[in-house]
């Protein structure tokens, strides 16, 4: 877990402000849930592998004997936990507050989550997720609204040229069925296919053989993967989707994908920056339909992703409600946007000698603040350059030196290189 | 712990944005520390009673035998905890990052903290604190900068007329010494004096008698409390401070208080909204000098407070560094500012019939967003008024109905009452 110093914190807050402003423009409304949720809710089987990575909070008022448990069962000692994603808490939130929400509810959540991962480069135990979700709309419009809002937001952050890889869990299921994988082996087969980017077609086939997957089905899948046509998906549309899939995928699944593409085109004009990818899997078990990932030409990893999870709300509400969400990888995006974007408010460092009277200095500072400036006061040190370099890193754009007879009128404001 | 629905969340974010903007204008820089700190650090005795209210996080990878502990010692099971305030983490942050911070470091922290309090009205287990602190400045200028920035921020929030009650722990100590309370009984006497607002002078005397405090000292203190002069503290300045204290309080303590007042006047002009209160105690054990509380005529409880804690950084750094902080009671202030402040962006609800084509609707929405509006799409329900009332509560200011032949040109935008 990380400390954020002033320059980095300011950058993160500016990125969050852009995301918030764009998502709100698209009719999404920000909500907030507690960082801590009931232990039982977090471990209800909907969080996949992330459940195992959750931090658990000790019950209060425990006494010596409470700790003695032959089973070593954490649930006996913990009643709360830190959320490991924003989707499970959203489902709980919706079930709790449904009566006060619009029929179709479009939520924004921008908040930290925690996972007890082994510390490694680029993985943090506390990190921010930015999710938008649409609850209560089963139509392709929901996916289109999420994709349009996300692309607009990424554009506003200066990452133009992003695209969305898209698939449907039902198309994957149908495809595996067509090839002859039996129902029981399909979850394992999907875990292997998910590694295509990393291990390639050859690696996939080897791993499927090792799994002992139905021999003829692996043959059929290999032949399908090696077809030259599968490499050409664009432009997005029915013809291309059908070409990228084996025969036998239900028409309504394809129509849903086509509908998303048409709506994205309607909103953005021109060609939809969508790429149909019949091998896109995404890890989470709760997806039931469309799945997607955000790609950008500058990096070879995804900058976000999401999908439809029509079954989850029902687990909390006792009544199924369609839901689909798109999560932006905030930490990855912040790392990409490394340059310091300019601060709108003029920011000034007043560098003063030791002999300047406190009240003269504080009155001058107050006057400059009233003029609309952001003002930091620092006593002159031997290393003036070091002082100014750090101030510039913190977003200060100008400085002025103050001695005992400096007034507002005589103050000389100089820009910092 | 609470869920925040769209209208409430938007209000909280607006208040946070005003506080952030004002504090930054005054030369403070925002930082962020992890929500979770080491168990040992949180329980190092600096958090006072709040340590007992902290949530502890179970070690990962525990097995059955790890739970069996004859002592019932939570520390054997927990290695982390949720922060219960922002001051202890700030001291730890400063010790970790000192080399990358300015000599005088002015920090902003706006973040949630957790306390395992019994749920009761107006007390939350997760709540936001907004702290500013100045580390590395022992002079009265530090207190003055905190007070000036806080009053300016409270003004910007529309809560004009706030004032700051101020005292000094060293003045309290000297006062108790003068009256004849022995050193051992003073901490207990302070706990009683802290209740003056609630139980009055009579209650104080009764409780001090019950404590068995030095009899003559209680007599002297009672006579002092009942002096008519002690009720008249303003205007703030040396004469008034001396009148409000018994003889024997060191001159340098009084000079520090006077210096704060003069600097606040220099920044704000006119009279400083400071009230010297010789009976102000504040609970935390770590205060070493000035203490203060933010008061507002509309409420009879404090809206924030703080003080000097010159000893705490040394506990982490091994070297004393002066520090003083002012914490705004964010939750109390949000509750006070109940009216919905207007949103700057024009916000429009598009109400459509079922027969409007998805792509027509989504293209219209995109066009309005490009024009700078915030746009929510909702299907018309029988109870149109209910729909519009909720939209207004969520900050939408206008609506328009869309049917199958509506274009941007024919769209009639109506203001929401």
Phi and psi dihedrals of B124, rounded to 5? -120, 150
**Would the CB atoms of A376 and B102 count as touching at under 8 Å?**
yes
Q: Which pLDDT belongs to residue B145?
A: 95
CATH of A6-336, one of 3.40.50.2000, 3.30.930.10, 2.40.30.10, 3.10.20.30: 3.30.930.10
* Domain boundaries defined on chain B: 1-162+296-341, 167-287, 347-415
Helices (H), A328-374: 330-336, 358-370
Q: Which pLDDT belongs to residue B43?
A: 85
**Would the CB atoms of A26 and B93 count as touching at under 8 Å?**
no
Statement: residue B342 has pLDDT above 70: no
Find residues 323-362 of chain A whose CB sits inside 8 Å of chain B. 345, 358-362
Asked if B268 reaches chain A (Cβ–Cβ under 8 Å), the answer is: yes
Q: Which pLDDT belongs to residue B331?
A: 93
- Say if domain A347-415 classifies as CATH 3.40.120: yes
pLDDT per position as a tens digit, B20-54:
999 999 999 999 999 999 988 888 777 777 888 88
Determine the 3-state secondary structure of B107 from DSSP.
Answer: strand
DSSP symbol at A84: S
Helix axes A251-268, A140-156, angle to 10 degrees: 40
Q: Which pLDDT belongs to residue B296?
A: 94
* Mean predicted confidence (pLDDT) in B284-290: 88
> Of A215-224, B260-269, B313-322, B343-352, which range is least confident?
B343-352
Q: Which pLDDT belongs to residue A106?
A: 96
pLDDT per position as a tens digit, B114-151:
998 887 777 889 999 999 999 999 999 999 999 999 99
How far apart (Å, rounded) are the C-alpha atoms in residues A137 and A102? Answer: 11
Which pairing describes strands B56-58 and B36-38: parallel, antiparallel, or unpaired? Answer: unpaired
**Per-residue confidence at B334, pLDDT binned at 50, 70, 90?**
very high
Statement: residue B230 has pLDDT above 70: no
Q: What percent of chain B has pLDDT over 70?
A: 94
Statement: residue A109 has pLDDT above 60: yes
How far apart (Å, rounded) are the C-alpha atoms in residues B3 and A400? Answer: 46
**Per-residue confidence at A18, pLDDT binned at 50, 70, 90?**
very high
Q: Which pLDDT belongs to residue A72?
A: 58
Closest CA to A33 of A80, A87, A75: A87
Show residues of chain B in contact with A388, CB under 8 Å. Answer: none
Determine the 3-state secondary structure of A326 from DSSP.
Answer: strand
Statement: residue B62 has pLDDT above 60: yes
CATH of B167-287, one of 2.40.170.20, 3.40.50.720, 3.30.930.10, 3.40.109.10: 3.30.930.10
pLDDT per position as a tens digit, A134-152:
999 999 999 999 999 999 9
**Per-residue confidence at A342, pLDDT binned at 50, 70, 90?**
low
Determine the 3-state secondary structure of A262 from DSSP.
Answer: helix
B194 CA: distance to closest CA in chain A (Å): 28
Chain B: residue whose CA lies nearest to A74: B62
The verdict on whether omega for the bond into residue B206 sits within 30 degrees of 0, i.e. cis, is no
Interface predicted TM-score (ipTM): 0.90
**Per-residue confidence at A67, pLDDT binned at 50, 70, 90?**
low
Statement: residue B229 has pLDDT above 80: no
**Would the CB atoms of B358 and A139 count as touching at under 8 Å?**
yes
Asked if A116 reaches chain B (Cβ–Cβ under 8 Å), the answer is: yes
Phi and psi dihedrals of A254, rounded to 5? -65, -40
Q: Which pLDDT belongs to residue A234?
A: 66
Q: What percent of chain B has pLDDT over 90?
A: 68
Show residues of chain A in contact with B78, CB under 8 Å. Answer: 58
Q: Which pLDDT belongs to residue B199?
A: 92
How far apart (Å, rounded) are the C-alpha atoms in residues B398 and B410? Answer: 16
Q: Which pLDDT belongs to residue B122?
A: 72
DSSP strands (E only) in A56-174: 56-58, 78-82, 105-114, 126-135, 163-168
Mean pLDDT, chain B, integer: 90
Closest CA to B179 of B168, B190, B195, B167: B190
Fold agreement (B1-162+296-341, B167-287): yes
Closest CA to A101 of B364, B415, B8: B8
Edge-to-edge strand list for the sheet holding A414-415: A374-379, A347-352, A398-402, A414-415
A151 vs B346, which has greater pLDDT?
A151
Statement: residue A167 has pLDDT above 80: yes
User: Phi-psi bin for B212: left (phi > 0), alpha (psi -120 to 50), beta?
Assistant: left
* Mean predicted confidence (pLDDT) in B149-178: 95
Q: Which pLDDT belongs to residue A54?
A: 86
Statement: residue A75 has pLDDT above 90: no
Mean pLDDT, chain A, integer: 90
Cα torsion angle, A347, A353, A354, A357, sign: negative
How far apart (Å, rounded) are the C-alpha atoms in residues A34 and A57? Answer: 14
The neighbouring-strand residues paired with A84 are none
A145 vs A346, which has greater pLDDT?
A145
Q: Which pLDDT belongs to residue A229?
A: 61
pLDDT per position as a tens digit, A246-268:
999 999 999 999 999 999 999 99
Q: Which pLDDT belongs to residue A60?
A: 79
Asked if A95 reaches chain B (Cβ–Cβ under 8 Å), the answer is: no
Q: Which pLDDT belongs to residue B233?
A: 52
The verdict on whether omega for the bond into residue B16 sits within 30 degrees of 0, i.e. cis, is no
CA B251 to chain centre: 31
How far apart (Å, rounded) are the C-alpha atoms in residues B150 and B294? Answer: 9
DSSP symbol at A99: G
Q: Which pLDDT belongs to residue B74?
A: 74
CATH code linked to domain B1-162+296-341: 3.30.930.10
CA B19 to chain centre: 11
CA B83 to chain centre: 15
Residues 6+ apart with CB under 8 A from B99: none
Asked if A223 reaches chain B (Cβ–Cβ under 8 Å), the answer is: no
Statement: residue B300 has pLDDT above 90: no
How far apart (Å, rounded) are the C-alpha atoms in residues B88 and B109? Answer: 12
Asked if A255 reaches chain B (Cβ–Cβ under 8 Å), the answer is: no
Statement: residue A356 has pLDDT above 60: yes
How far apart (Å, rounded) are the C-alpha atoms in residues A31 and A33? Answer: 7
pLDDT per position as a tens digit, A169-223:
999 999 999 999 999 999 999 999 999 988 999 999 999 999 999 999 999 999 9
- Within 13 Å, how many C-alpha atoms sit on residue B366's CB side? 24
Between the CA of residue B25 and those of A98, A364, A395, B29, B268, what are the distances in Å?
Answer: 40, 13, 12, 9, 15
Residue-wise DSSP of A36-76: EEEHHHHTSS-SGGGGGG--EEEPTT--GGGG--TT--HHH
Statement: residue B412 has pLDDT above 90: yes
Determine the 3-state secondary structure of A289 from DSSP.
Answer: coil
Chain B: residue whose CA lies nearest to A117: B60
Show residues of chain B in contact with A69, CB under 8 Å. Answer: 64, 67-68
**Would the CB atoms of A71 and B64 count as touching at under 8 Å?**
yes
Q: Which pLDDT belongs to residue B223?
A: 92
Q: Which pLDDT belongs to residue B84?
A: 93
The neighbouring-strand residues paired with B293 are B165, B305
Q: What percent of chain A has pLDDT over 70?
A: 94
Residue-wise DSSP of B72-87: --HHHHEEEEE-S-SH
**Would the CB atoms of B72 and A58 count as touching at under 8 Å?**
no
Edge-to-edge strand list for the sheet holding B36-38: A36-38, A78-82, A56-58, B56-58, B78-82, B36-38
């Amino acid at each position: 877990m990380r400390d954020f110093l002033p320059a980095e914190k300011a950058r993160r807050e500016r990125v969050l402000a852009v995301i918030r402003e764009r998502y709100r423009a698209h009719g999404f409304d920000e909500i907030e849930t507690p960082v801590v949720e009931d232990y039982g809710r977090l471990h209800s089987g909907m969080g996949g592998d992330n459940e195992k990575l959750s931090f658990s909070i000790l019950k209060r008022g425990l006494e010596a004997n409470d700790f003695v448990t032959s089973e070593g069962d954490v649930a006996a000692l913990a009643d709360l936990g830190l959320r490991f994603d924003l989707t499970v808490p959203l489902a709980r939130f919706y079930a709790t507050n449904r009566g006060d929400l619009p029929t179709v509810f479009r939520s924004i959540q921008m908040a930290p989550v925690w996972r007890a991962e082994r510390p490694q480069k680029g993985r943090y135990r506390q990190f921010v997720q930015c999710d938008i979700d649409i609850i209560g709309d089963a139509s392709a419009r929901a996916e289109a609204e999420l994709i349009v809002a996300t692309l607009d937001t990424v554009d506003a952050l200066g990452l133009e040229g992003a695209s969305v890889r898209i698939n449907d869990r039902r198309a994957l299921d149908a495809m595996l069925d067509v090839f002859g994988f039996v129902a029981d082996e399909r979850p394992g087969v999907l875990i292997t296919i998910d590694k295509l980017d990393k291990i390639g077609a050859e690696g996939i086939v080897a791993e499927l053989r090792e799994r002992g997957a139905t021999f003829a089905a692996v043959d059929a899948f290999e032949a399908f993967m090696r077809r030259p046509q599968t490499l050409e998906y664009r432009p997005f549309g029915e013809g291309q989707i059908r070409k990228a899939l084996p025969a036998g995928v239900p028409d309504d699944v394809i129509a849903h994908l086509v509908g998303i593409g048409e709506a994205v085109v309607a909103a953005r004009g021109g060609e939809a920056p969508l790429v149909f990818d019949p091998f896109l899997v995404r890890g989470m078990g709760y997806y039931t339909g469309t799945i997607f990932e955000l790609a950008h030409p500058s990096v070879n990893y995804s900058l976000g992703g999401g999908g439809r999870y029509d079954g989850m709300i029902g687990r909390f509400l006792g009544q199924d409600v369609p839901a689909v969400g798109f999560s932006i990888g905030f930490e990855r995006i912040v790392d990409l946007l490394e340059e310091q974007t300019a601060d709108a408010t003029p920011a000034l460092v007043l560098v003063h000698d030791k002999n300047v009277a406190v009240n003269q200095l504080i009155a001058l500072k107050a006057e400059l603040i009233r003029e609309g400036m952001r003002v930091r006061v620092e006593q002159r040190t031997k290393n003036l350059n070091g002082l100014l370099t750090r101030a510039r890193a913190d977003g200060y754009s100008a400085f002025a030196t103050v001695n005992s007879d400096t007034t507002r009128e005589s103050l000389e404001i100089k820009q910092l290189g």
